[in-house]
Amino acid sequence: MKRIFNISVLAVLLLVAASPCFADRELAPVSKERAKQLGMEIRSQANGPQVWVELEFKPEGELKHFSHVELEIMQGDKFLLGYAPLGEKRSSSGSVVVRFLADRAYLDKLALIVVLGDFGDVGYELRVKDFVDLGKSPQSNLAPGNLPSQKPLLKNGIREAGSKP
């Protein structure tokens, strides 16, 4: 009886160890040219010292197994934040749109990860610095009708009283 139990425990451990793991995620870096091939577009809009960054793509072709988009923050080789899913919106044409607001000084540390598959073990990495001018973002290259009605933050990070995000 004890032998059957030990064999069962060993079988379960081997099964769990062989399952997919997030640490084994394979990410393909995406250049501007590759993003165009995949149908991905990153747009930006200045908002005082901050920048709105927006990614839009259709979940078709190589992206048909799209799961979600995550934000990742790295400082050199040091991992600071990851596996942070962004809320997505679907346009009337079926495109996926994700957007976030960041301080311009941190854009070189940010990446968007387009995660594919049920296990999220494959994805595309878009380094924001490769798509957005770090010096000065254009007044607006967001899609028409998608302009955020965000008021700039005050110096202490608080919005004016009565203003809506």
Contacts of 4 (CB under 8 A, 6+ apart): none
User: In this predicted model, what pLDDT tens digit does every residue of 58-101 receive, in sequence order?
Assistant: 999 999 999 999 999 999 999 999 999 999 999 999 999 999 99
Question: Concatenated DSSP letters for 78-118?
Answer: EEEEEEEEPPEEE-TTS-EEEEEEEEGGGGGGEEEEEEESS
Report which residue type is found at 11: A
Place of tokens 């494959």: 122
109 backbone dihedrals φ, ψ, rounded to 5°? -100, -5
- Sorted by where each starts, the structural domains of the chain and their CATH numbers stand as 25-130 (2.60.40)
Helix (H, G, I), strand (E, B) or coil at 142: coil
Please say whether the beta carbons of 24 and 121 come within 8 A: yes
User: Is residue 124 within a helix (H) or strand (E), and if so which, with residue range?
Assistant: strand 122-127
* CA–CA distance, 112 with 139 (Å, rounded to integer): 22
pLDDT value at residue 71? 97
Q: Compute the average pLDDT of residues 43-62.
A: 94
- Work out the mean pLDDT of the chain and round it to a whole number: 81
